[in-house]
Amino acid sequence: MRRLPATVITGFLGAGKTSLVRHLIEQAAGRRLALIVNEFGDVGVDGGLLAACGAPSCRPGDIIELANGCLCCTVADEFLPTMQALLERPEPPDHILIETSGLALPKPLVTAFRWPEIRSRVTVDGVIAVVDGAAFATGRFTSTPEQMARPDHDNPLEEVFTDQLATADIVLLNKVDLLDPATLAEVRGRLAAAVRPGVHLLETTHGAVDARVVLGLNAAVEEDLAARPTHHDAGEPHQHDDFESFAVTLPELTDPEALEARLRATIAAHDILRLKGFVAIAGRPARAVIQAAGPRLERYFDRMWGENEPRAGQLVVIGCRGLDRAAITRQIQGAAA
């Protein structure tokens, strides 16, 4: 019996995974895709963003959101039952896309495909790692020589990033629109040296890639994990304790530019890794999405507010452990609260 292909999409917080998924959904061409989206925080944002894209192959029932934790640590409780339920559907999908949280390690998730319950029915077609080219260029995932010299050297960002790269079949060097040619060449060279031999590196903007290039790789990754050594192979536990996430609520806003200014200041002052969510703007019938990955901030409308939906905003904040939640909340809410 032909096994159902599943593609795992990995990449650090804000790298462009959801943008890639959106492109893949748009190119489904009649094939039925199911999408499992996992987020680190307990408030899911990506599932709602994808549902709002309105592509015919992206019906709400085909998007399954697993919030509150990293898939790599909740495989038994959450992922396996979800997969089983998908396989039991009267009309199972043709291909499954799994967007992991930006902090998840892909390997424990791929290992779950060896479990007898699903091994005979699903195979991991490939692991795609999306890299934020602009963040990589600034050295965000690389320890400084001073950090390396410390005996207790431990850089959780670097570990997650390199484990994600090490498991990949294809690496998308994304956000190349933000890099000048010289920086792009430098980044490309550094990244090429960091991936496994033979792994293709593709340059992308907003994750726009031909689905035929990244889907249908037939890599059977679950049988090939020994060839993909990572930091955590020795049984060292994956420390999500290194990161934390919380949500800030906002009333309807009259001055979104003022909120943007407060967000920029807050992100800079508290080294926030990722911030995303929705806000309501007075007089505007559409919901505004706010996205920040590192220092870059974006705001756009994605869909109309529902008739009975409360016009309130919610922003998820993710950073290294030790965030001053009270100060961040105060600063974001400012006079708008």
- The least distance separating ligand GTP from the CB of residue 1, rounded to whole angstroms, comes to 33
Is residue 291 close enough to count as binding ligand GTP by CB under 6 A?
yes
Fill in the amino acid letter for 205. T
Q: Which has the closest alpha carbon to 207: 129, 106, 323? A: 129
Q: Which is nearer to ligand GTP, 154 or 298 (CB)?
A: 298
Is residue 41 a contact residue for ligand GTP (CB under 6 A)? Answer: no
- Amino acid (1-letter code) at residue 163: D
95, 107, 175, 228: which one contacts ligand GTP (CB under 6 A)?
175
Q: Which of residues 248-287 bind ligand GTP (CB under 6 A)?
A: 274, 276
| Minimum distance from residue 234 beta carbon to ligand GTP (Å) | 26
Nearer CB in complex with ligand GTP: 123/291: 291
- Least Å from the CB of residue 221 to ligand GTP: 20
77's CB contacts (< 8 A; 6+ apart) are: none
Least Å distance between CB 96 and ligand GTP? Answer: 17
- C-beta of 153 vs 200, nearer to ligand GTP: 200
Which of 4, 17, 24, 211: binder of ligand GTP (CB under 6 A)? Answer: 17
In the complex, minimum distance from the CB of residue 335 to ligand GTP, in angstroms, rounded to a whole number: 26
Torsion sign across C-alpha atoms 58, 48, 63, 163: positive
Residue numbers 51-90 binding ligand GTP by CB under 6 A: none
Interface residue with ligand GTP among 177, 210, 233, 271 (CB under 6 A) is 177
Q: Between 176 and 280, name the residue whose CB sits nearer to ligand GTP.
A: 176
Among 47, 69, 93, 102, binds ligand GTP (CB under 6 A): 102
SS3 per-residue string spanning 80-143: HHHHHHHHCCCCCCCEEEEECCCCCCHHHHHHHHHCHHHHCCEEEEEEEEEEEHHHHHCCCCCC
Residues 100, 70 contacting (CB under 8 angstroms): yes
CB of 225 to ligand GTP, least distance (A): 23
Options 142, 205, 314, 329; binder of ligand GTP; rule CB under 6 A: 205
Does position 240 interact with ligand GTP (CB under 6 A)? The reply is no
Q: Nearest-CA neighbor of 310 among 275, 280, 334, 276?
A: 280
Q: How far is CA 216 from the centre of its chain?
A: 21
3-state secondary structure of 277: strand
* Residue 124 φ/ψ, nearest 5 degrees: -85, 105
Pairing of strands 274-279, 313-320: antiparallel
How far is residue 319's CA from residue 271's CA, in Å, rounded to a whole number?
7
Binding site for ligand GTP (CB under 6 A): 11, 13-19, 46, 102, 174-175, 177-178, 205-207, 274, 276, 291, 293, 298
